[in-house]
With several copies, the nearest count.
Chain A
Amino acid sequence: MEISESKPQIDSSENPRSTWDGCSVLLDINDGDRLVFARLSAGAKLKIGNKNCSLQPLIGCPFGSFFRVENGAEGPYLAGYTPSTEVNNVQEKGDGQSIDEFRDNRALVDNNKAQSLTGEDINAMRQQGATGDEIVEALIANSATFEKKTVFSQEKYRLKKQKKYAPVVLMRRPFTRSICEAYLKKYPNKIGFLRMDTLSLLLSMANVSANSDVLVVDMVGGLLTGAVAERLGGTGYVCNTYLSGSPYSMDIARIFNFGDEICKRIVRSPLADLLSVQNGIEKPATQEAESGNMEIQSNDQISSAVSMEEASLTSESVISDPIPVSTSSPVIKMSKPAKLGEKAPQEIISLWKENGFSSLIIAAPELDAWGFVKETLPLMSNSASFAIFHQYLQPLATCMHNLQTGKMAIGMQISEPWLREYQVLPSRTHPCMQMNGFAGYILSGTKILPT
């Protein structure tokens, strides 16, 4: 805890471009093959291939840096590295290849057994200090079929061997963009299949900007809460509300590198508390006690420093199969991220009662949309914008119909974003062959004064 406190306050508005001790990062290993969220510290380690590497060399480096495993005197370590433009090109050709091969590979004989280098040979090379690149070159030189391959197949072969023998680690900033895309790729169900474009539309359609007071129902692991807080940048509030019982997980919001100023603006409140105040009745003491209960129930979330460490370990392992191994005690070596998601204080709730929330976003893909909307919409300021995400169209249609007939909102629209990525390469430009066809649906609109 002391380490964390002694670090300079990380204000997101400063938008730091290099890492620090205690910084959360996204490690992209071999161009998306593996994605790991990690918190940097002197003691943090990550297994890459069959090697355990300290993450210490990553501290202080700029985001966007590439690293490779080098063999040092004290064993393997991660060293900075600048990929050549050529390698970059090879990677980008990946997708186009499938087409060209589809068209031409009738004559191609691809026999992987034509490799004369054995596993023992490679181990021997390694022990003699050969770099990963050197092993790749040796494999190519000893492949009986390499020369017969098309240029694209040669590049594909080289890339495959590079990934195995000379893995590349790219260090990314954990921003909404990268976090959402990483989860979507590896654990889409944890974020309710919320795509980047859908998430960005939720923020825009709910009119989230500096000084907004945003009410969210976040059943997508804290991604929505984090995305809203990132936009607020230490102004306004994001209030994460929930039904009775324990609050929904905000783990993903902890992956962001939010400083104290932003963390303080992320609060939670059971819906019951917001509703009782909304109706102008002072909260009875029994409900206070009840809320106190809930805070203890949510043991994996925001209680003590120790559970924080555990939570941060959990979030690190969520994306990657092997949990980054820390040889020393995580409690001592790992820095504590700032505390977020405290219970909303009474005076803030009272202010919301007076002014209403300025935005509402609901991402509860498994629950009935109308149930939440009819409870939360009255908490909104008039003219406030709302955006409801759902995996099915029908609940939003019903919801829109009810809001129309109840004269509760105007300017309503159900939309489904449609995102397409392209491969753009000389003479090989086309939409990517694979696409994520599921964006979900958004009901957006403006709350009006009930008549």
Chain B
Amino acid sequence: MLPVDPTKKLSFTRCISDGDLVIVYEKYDTMKAVEVCAGSVLGNRTQILYIADISFVIMFLELVPGCLVLELGTGSGSLTTSLARAVAPKGHVYTFDFHEQRAQLVTVGVRDIQGEGFPDEFSGRADSVFLDLPQPGLAIPSAAKMLKQDGVLCSFSPCIEQVQRASETMRSSLTDIRTFEILLHTYEVREWKLDDFQGDEAGSVGSHPHKRQHRSNEGSNVQETTGSPTVMARPCSDARGHTGYLTFARLKCLS
């Protein structure tokens, strides 16, 4: 049997302790406030708007615990957090931006990666590299040098022209170049009381429609939906139309 170290269990304690991250829900679908205490960053759930992009990036970068990941363009840090969770407990994320940030399990460097490129110390050591830069093409040659063999690079760009230039640059040293776009459609659930079509109608129309109804239903398992209230889902009309393009590529394997 495996030893179970209770201090390593993620399972939630039943009472809220000091320093915990607490999210307050007002109703079943609205958050009231998010209070983040230092030290609990890794327990934080990623921004819902981009969860589809983040989830897909983590799977397509083939991140598993123990990986070394480089990120360029820390931005709000929402991806950084998710990258760190994916490589925890033994891996490490090195993230670079113009501005200084702070986090756990993560090393943040201030650097103009687009111009300077990556520090040499990571050369050939990165399992994966993620770029979120206005001109990804400039950083790609340096990023490719950091990758291990068969390592995966991802570049996120909102505009197709950035994708076109990045893909062009990738072709020289990378392979398996693929561009994706991912969106999340959400649905709202409503209890829907169907108007009782027949009931309203019967008085004024007379018996004719009922006759016809019987004819068409004859011998078949017609499903009547009228009467009882039904729960139904429909797409939310206010949808996010675009977040960005995700371009993935692998370092060519030299055999």
Interface positions of A (Cβ within 8 A of B): 11-15, 17, 61-66, 80-83, 85, 88-89, 92, 99, 103-104, 106, 173, 175-177, 188, 193, 196-197, 199-201, 203-205, 207, 209-213, 230-236, 243-245, 264-265, 270-272, 275-276, 278-279, 281, 290, 345, 347-348, 351, 355-358, 366-368, 370-372, 374-375, 378, 381-385, 391-398, 400-402, 404-406, 408-439, 441, 445-446, 450
The A-contacting residues of B in range 173-209, CB under 8 angstroms, are: 175, 177-187, 189, 191-192, 194-195, 197-198, 200-201, 203-206, 208-209
Say which residue of B89, B178, B179, B187 sits within 8 Å of A416 (CB atoms).
B187
Whole-angstrom CA separation of A408 from B28 in the bound complex: 10
Residue of A nearest to B174 (CB): A88
Whole-angstrom CA separation of A50 from B34 in the bound complex: 42
Q: Is the CB of A272 within 8 A of B197?
A: no
Say which residue of A236, A276, A383, A417 sits within 8 Å of B52 (CB atoms).
A417
Whole-angstrom CA separation of A211 from B169 in the bound complex: 39
> Does B72 reach chain A (CB closer than 8 Å)?
no
Residue of A nearest to B165 (CB): A427
Whole-angstrom CA separation of A278 from B10 in the bound complex: 19
Beyond the given A400-B189, A436-B237, please list 5 additional residue pairs across the A-B interface where CB-CB is below 8 A: A203-B59, A358-B11, A406-B222, A410-B27, A446-B25
Say which residue of B12, B29, B231, B242 sits within 8 Å of A358 (CB atoms).
B12
Closest 5 CB pairs of A and B: A437-B239, A233-B65, A371-B197, A13-B66, A435-B241
Looking at the assembled complex, report how far the CB atom of B199 sits from the nearest CB atom of chain A, in whole angstroms. Answer: 10
Looking at the assembled complex, report how far the CB atom of A448 sits from the nearest CB atom of chain B, in whole angstroms. Answer: 8
Q: Is the CB of A103 within 8 A of B187?
A: no
> Does B102 reach chain A (CB closer than 8 Å)?
no
Q: Is the CB of B241 within 8 A of A434?
A: yes
B interface size (C-beta, 8 A): 118
Q: Is the CB of A422 within 8 A of B179?
A: yes
Known: A271-B205, A437-B236. A430 touches B182 (CB 8 A): no
Q: Is the CB of B254 within 8 A of A82?
A: yes
Q: Is the CB of B179 within 8 A of A13?
A: no
Say which residue of A391, A406, A430 sits within 8 Å of B216 (CB atoms).
A406
What does DSSP make chain B's interface, helix, strand, loop or mixed? Answer: mixed
Whole-angstrom CA separation of A148 from B178 in the bound complex: 32
Q: Which of B168, B224, B234 has most chain A Cβ within 10 Å?
A: B234
Chain B residues with Cβ under 8 A from A401's Cβ?
189, 191, 223, 231
Q: Is the CB of A199 within 8 A of B59?
A: yes
The A-contacting residues of B in range 51-70, CB under 8 angstroms, are: 51-52, 54-56, 58-60, 62, 64-67
A-B residue pairs in contact (CB < 8 Å), sample of 13: A13-B64, A62-B255, A64-B149, A197-B56, A235-B8, A366-B195, A368-B195, A393-B233, A416-B187, A420-B180, A422-B163, A427-B161, A437-B235
Looking at the assembled complex, report how far the CB atom of A341 sits from the nearest CB atom of chain B, in whole angstroms. Answer: 15
Interface positions of B (Cβ within 8 A of A): 1-2, 4, 8-12, 14, 25, 27-29, 31, 42, 45-46, 48, 51-52, 54-56, 58-60, 62, 64-67, 82, 85-86, 88-91, 98-99, 127, 134, 148-150, 158-161, 163-164, 167-168, 171-172, 175, 177-187, 189, 191-192, 194-195, 197-198, 200-201, 203-206, 208-209, 211-213, 215-218, 220-226, 230-242, 244-245, 247, 250-255
Q: Is the CB of B64 within 8 A of A290?
A: no
Q: Is the CB of A233 within 8 A of B64?
A: yes
Say which residue of A177, A213, A435 sits within 8 Å of B9 (CB atoms).
A213
Residue of A nearest to B191 (CB): A401
Whole-angstrom CA separation of A418 from B154 in the bound complex: 19
Say which residue of A64, A244, A431, A435 sits within 8 Å of B204 (CB atoms).
A244
Known: A197-B182, A200-B55, A402-B223. A103 touches B134 (CB 8 A): yes
Whole-angstrom CA separation of A85 from B254 in the bound complex: 13
Whole-angstrom CA separation of A145 from B12 in the bound complex: 50
Whole-angstrom CA separation of A185 from B8 in the bound complex: 39
Chain A residues with Cβ under 8 A from B242's Cβ?
430-433, 435
Whole-angstrom CA separation of A422 from B160 in the bound complex: 10
Looking at the assembled complex, report how far the CB atom of B111 sits from the nearest CB atom of chain A, in whole angstroms. Answer: 15
Say which residue of B2, B14, B235 sits within 8 Å of A382 (CB atoms).
B14
Residue of A nearest to B148 (CB): A17
Looking at the assembled complex, report how far the CB atom of A425 sits from the nearest CB atom of chain B, in whole angstroms. Answer: 8
Q: Is the CB of B204 within 8 A of A177?
A: no
Chain A residues with Cβ under 8 A from B67's Cβ?
15
Residue of B nearest to A427 (CB): B161
Say which residue of A11, A13, A367, A374 sits within 8 Å of B212 (CB atoms).
A374
